[in-house]
Chain A
């Protein structure tokens, strides 16, 4: 499986946005995290990870999001997740002990509008 099918990086309203899609599990979570981290410049205040197109998320994927959040927090960068209501991702997060300190919103628009 090509990583590019799971990960796309771009800018929306001046903010760094990583769009993930497909299945995120133990087989690709570490690679996806590396791709995100390598795409983020030190100058970003806010990093949006859009999970709207993700069809499956397991505990390795959730652990990856926590690692990413911790890493960004150390650099005083904010992580915002896009997690639509009723999505598979929301279900996985809920049964894993969500909510947490990680900020999550329902749409990409909300994510890019939240004050930095």
Chain B
């Protein structure tokens, strides 16, 4: 289920890796329609994908759960928010930490906020030449 209010877009998906490609397709379209250039769209898809993959791998047990994704077009930036409603287990193998490193390299800012009710990851990209 997705909602689109022009500058704000919201969707939710099952915590299942097969959903990643569907999310990328929808998010790519939304970002492109808002004038984000292709290289930056790729960075945003990878950054957001890493946040969602982390939630898929670490937030829920085998029974799964729901992940909520929000996108916002601000006058001078794009914000992407990934929220889960579970509790992250610590990564079991070293390379899984690579996802977080990639988010930090790709986005202008990354905020990861764990709480008792879930974890929120906020990614933000400044847009060059914005008014």
Contacts and interface: CB of A to CB of B under 8 A. Distances in A.
Interface of A: 1, 23, 25-27, 56, 58-60, 62-63, 66, 88, 91-92, 94-97
The number of chain B residues touching the other chain, given as a range, is: 20 to 34
A91 B41 CA distance: 12
Nearest to B38: A88
A58 B46 contact: yes
Contacts of A60: 53
Contact of B98 (A27, A62, A88): A62
A95 B46 contact: yes
Interface string B50-65: 1001001100000000
Contacts of B46: 56, 58, 91-92, 95
Contact of A63 (B24, B43, B96): B96
B79 interface: no
B101 interface: yes
B102 interface: yes
B105 interface: yes
A72 to B, nearest CB: 17
Contacts of B93: 63
Given A58-B99, A63-B98, A91-B42, A23 B53 contact: no
Contacts of B56: 26
Contacts of A96: 98, 101-102, 105
B98 A25 contact: no
A50 to B, nearest CB: 20
A56 B20 CA distance: 11
Contacts of B96: 59, 63
B21 A59 contact: no
A1 B25 CA distance: 15
A62 B21 contact: no
Contact of A66 (B17, B18, B95): B95
A91 B43 contact: yes
Residue among B20, B39, B45, B96 having the largest count of chain A Cβ atoms under 10 Å:
B20
Contacts of B21: 1, 23, 25, 27
Nearest to B97: A59
